[in-house]
A and B are shown apart, each in its own frame.
Chain A
Amino acid sequence: MPKNYAFIGLFGSGKTEVAINWALKLREEHEKVAIIDGDIISPYFRTRDVAEKLEKLGLVTVYPKGALRNADLPVITGAAIGYLVNEEYKTVIDVGGEENGVVVLGYLKPYLGNVEISMVVNIARPFSSTVDGIIKAYEILRSVARIKVDYLINNANLSYETTPELIHKGEEILSKVSEIIEVPVKFSVVPDFIEEKNFKFPVFKIHRFIEMEKL
C-alpha cells in the first residue's frame, strides 16, 4: 500500500474534491492522515479554504499558515516535505491545475517516496472532453512533472447536475484512453446524491466540500 497519494489534472477536473474525500477515506483506517494544499494556481476554492472543517474531521491540513495563507504567491510550505517523508503519516497531496500547477510535483519528487499518482479527468470540461484532448493533457502533465501516472480517475461531473449517464459516458471515454496509454482506471467518482451503483469501474462515493449558494 502506498504511503503518499498525489492527484493531478487540468483546471477544474475536481482534484481538490477527490483529494479531500480520499484523505477522509484513508482516515477511516489510519490515525494520522495529512492533506497538503499544493495548489499554487487557484486563488480560492482550495483545500485551505475548508481547512478548519477538515481539521475537525481528523485530518492534518498542510498549507502556508499565517499571512501567507491568502497571499497571491506560489508558496509550498516546508512542512509539506515533512509530512511526505514522515512514515507515521499517510499523506495526500492536492496539486494545482495545468502544467504550471503540476510543476510542484516535480519539485517535490525527491520526497514523494512510495507514492501513487492519479490523474483526475472530467469529460464535461473544455479541453478534456475527447480521447485526444485527455491524452494531450496526460502527455503534458507527466512530462512537466517528470513523473509516472499510475491511475486515471473518472470524475465526469457537472457539479450538482451530474447524472449516472454522464458518469457512464466518462467511463466509456476513459476506457479508450486507458487502452491507448496503458494506464488503468482506478475508480469512477460518484457524488453522494446519486443512488446508482452499477458502474464499469469501482465506485468512489464523494461528498462535495467546496460549494457556493446554488440557484
Chain B
Amino acid sequence: MAERVLVKGTEAIGEAAIRAGCRLFFGYPITPQNELPEYMSKRMPEVGGTFLQTESEVATINMVYGAACTGTRVMTSTSSPGFSLMQEGISYMACAQLPAVLVNVVRGGPGLGDIQPSQGDYWQATKGGGHGDYKLIVLAPSTVQEAVDLTVLAFDLADKYRTPVVIIADGVIGQMMEPVTFPEFRNLNTLPKHDDWALTGANGREKHIVVSFDIDPHVLEKMNLEIVEKLRKIEANEKRWEEYKLEDAEIVITAFGTVGRIAKSVVEQARKEGIKAGLFRPITLWPFPYERLEEISKGKKLILDVEMNMGQMLEDVKLAVKDHARIEFYGRMGGVVPTPDEIFEALKKFLNV
C-alpha cells in the first residue's frame, strides 16, 4: 500500500497535480492559497517542471491560456478576488476549448473580503463568471484526500473535453491537514498529446489555429454550437455526488465542500436524537446532479440547504427539488464557518422540535 502522508489541502492539490503529469504552474500570491504556489516553487524544479510567479492574475491566466494551446497539462491557483481578475482569460479559454485546471480557494467576499473560508463563489464558478455562453466543470472536494482525487480527475476531464476545469475549495479545505495517499506518478508519455489541434510547431504538417473569436457571426455561432454540444455531453456523463445515510432519511441536508463535511456531523447528531437525517453532497457543482436530487427529494419532510454564503447552490437545489418537498436554507457569510451545533439548532427550528 502506498504511504500515508500528512498534508494541507493546498499542498495536496499541488502534489496531486504533479502526479497527474502537470509540469507547468503559473500563479500570483493571495491568501489563503499561498502554500500551493509555495509548494510548487519547491517541487516543480525537482520533477523538471516550471513554476513561474507572474505579476498579476491577469498575466497568470493568459500564460495558462498560452501554455494550454500547446496541449500541455497546466494549472494555476488563486483565491476569490484573484479568480475574478482571471475571468476574461477563462472566457477566452472556454471559447478556444482549452484544457487547464484552475483552483479557487474561496475566501470571504464580496470585494476584498477577508481571508477566512467561504463558499461565496459558487455562482461565479457554476453560472459562468466571464462573458458569453459557456460553462466550466466545477469540482468541490470536502476532504483533503478528495482534493487529491479530484485534482487528478480534473486534469483527465480537462483533456477529455478540452475545457478548463475548476476545483473550488474553500479556505478550510485549503488550510486543514489530513493524512492522504497520493496516486502513482503518471508516465508523461501516456498523456493525451492533442495532435489534432495543439500548437506544437507545424513542421511539415498542416498548421493548427487556436482562436477564441470569429468575425463572421454564423461561424461564431457554429463555434458556440460545438461548445454547447460538448457541454451537453458533460451533463450526460459527468455528474458526481455523495449520498450519506439517505436510505431511510426523512430530512435531507444538501451541502458541498467543507459544509458537506460538517453536515455529516449534523446527520449523526440528529439521528442520535431520533431525527432521520441524511446528506446529499454534490461533488460536481456543474454539472449539478439535478435528476438524482429530484428523485431523492420525493416524499421528504424537509430539504435543508446549508452553505457558507447567502444561498447560492440553493437555486440549483430548488431547480432540482421543484415542489416535491419543503426547502429551507441556513447560511453563514463573511468567512464564518457554521458549527454542527448551530446547524442542528436551525434544523430543529425548521422542524418545530
User: What chain B residues lie within 8 Å of A127 (beta carbons)?
Assistant: 42
Contacts of B8 in A (CB 8 A): 11-12
One of B66-74, B147-155, B207-215, B259-267 contacting the partner: B259-267
Partner of A213, one of B5, B35, B179, B264: B264
Verify B115–A125 contact, CB threshold 8 A: no
Closest to B265 in A: A213
- Evaluate contact between A72 and B31: CB separation under 8 angstroms: yes
Jot down 26 A-B pairs with beta carbons below 8 A, ordered by A.
Answer: A11-B35, A12-B8, A12-B177, A43-B171, A44-B32, A44-B115, A44-B117, A45-B175, A45-B176, A45-B177, A70-B115, A72-B31, A124-B6, A124-B179, A126-B11, A126-B15, A158-B4, A158-B179, A159-B6, A160-B179, A161-B4, A161-B179, A213-B261, A213-B340, A215-B261, A215-B264
At the interface, yes or no: A122 with Cβ under 8 Å from chain B? yes
Distance to closest chain A CB from B149 (angstroms): 14
Partner of B178, one of A11, A44, A70, A159: A159
Contacts of A158 in B (CB 8 A): 4-6, 179
Most buried by B among A12, A44, A98: A44
Q: Is A178 an interface residue (CB 8 A)?
A: no
Contact B261 A124 (CB under 8 A): no
Q: How far is the CB of A168 from chain B (nearest CB, A)?
A: 15
> When A159-B177, A159-B178 are in contact, do A126 and B5 touch as well, CB less than 8 Å?
yes
Interface of B is mostly: mixed
Q: With an 8 A cutoff between CB atoms, is B143 at the interface?
A: yes
B5 touches A125 (CB 8 A): yes
| A130 interfacial by beta-carbon distance below 8 Å | no
Bound CA–CA A111/B7 (angstroms): 34
Quick check: B261 and A70 within 8 Å, CB to CB? no
Which residue, B6, B32, B42, B117, has most C-beta atoms of chain A within 10 A?
Answer: B6
**A125 and B32 form a contact (CB under 8 A):** no
Partner of A44, one of B11, B38, B175, B340: B175
Give the 7 A-B residue pairs with the shortest CB-CB distance, closest first: A158-B179, A43-B32, A124-B6, A161-B179, A43-B115, A72-B115, A72-B31
Q: What is the minimal beta-carbon distance from B219 to any residue of chain A, in angstroms?
A: 46
Question: Please, what's the 1-or-0 string for A155-172, where 1 marks a CB less than 8 Å from any CB in chain B?
Answer: 001111100000000000
Q: Is A77 on the interface with B (CB-CB < 8 A)?
A: no
Residue interface mask B6-17, A partner, CB < 8 A = 1: 111001000100
Contact B116 A125 (CB under 8 A): no
Contacts of B340 in A (CB 8 A): 213
Report the separation of the CA atoms of residues A11 and B176 in the bound assembly, to the nearest whole angstrom: 12
Q: How many A-B residue pairs have CB under 8 A?
A: 67
A212 interface contact, C-beta 8 A: yes
B171→A12 contact, CB < 8 A: no
Q: Flag whether A42 is at the interface (Cβ < 8 A).
A: yes
The residues in A between 4 and 42 inclusive whose CB is less than 8 angstroms from any CB of B are 11-12, 42
B106 within 8 A of A: no
Interface residues of B in 314-349 (CB under 8 A from A): 340
- A sample of 6 more A-B contacts (CB under 8 A), given A44-B32, A45-B175, A215-B264, is A43-B115, A70-B116, A72-B115, A124-B4, A159-B178, A160-B179
B251 interface residue (CB < 8 Å to A) = no
Closest to B108 in A: A70
Is B250 at the interface (CB under 8 A from chain A)?
no
Cβ-based interface call for B75 (8 A): no
B96 within 8 A of A: no
Asked if A125 contacts B7 (CB within 8 A), the reply is yes
Task: Give complex CA distance A215, B11 in Å.
Answer: 20
- How far, in angstroms, from A66 to B143 measured CA to CA in the complex? 32
Which residues of B from 253 to 293 have beta carbons under 8 Å from A?
A: 261-262, 264-265
Q: Taking CB as reference atom, which chain B residue is nearest A156?
A: B6
Which of A12, A124, A157, A215 has its CB near the most chain B CB atoms (within 10 A)?
A: A215
Interface string of B102-132 (1 = CB under 8 A from A): 0000000000001111000000000000000
Query: B residues within 8 A CB of A160?
Result: 179
Distance A11 CA – B12 CA, assembled complex (angstroms): 13
B172 CB-CB contact with A under 8 Å: yes
Q: Report yes or no: B6 in contact with A212, Cβ–Cβ below 8 A.
A: no
Could you tell me the distance in whole angstroms from the C-beta of A163 to the nearest C-beta in chain B? 10
Contact pick for A212, options B11, B38, B261, CB 8 Å: B261
A125: nearest chain-B partner, CB-CB: B6
A127 to B15, CA, bound (A): 12
Q: How far is the CB of B336 from chain A (nearest CB, A)?
A: 11
Specify which chain B residues have a CB less than 8 angstroms from the CB of A129 in the assembled complex: 5
Which residues of A lie under 8 Å from residue B261 when comparing CB positions? 212-213, 215
Measured between beta carbons, the chain B residues less than 8 angstroms from A43 are 31-32, 115, 171, 175
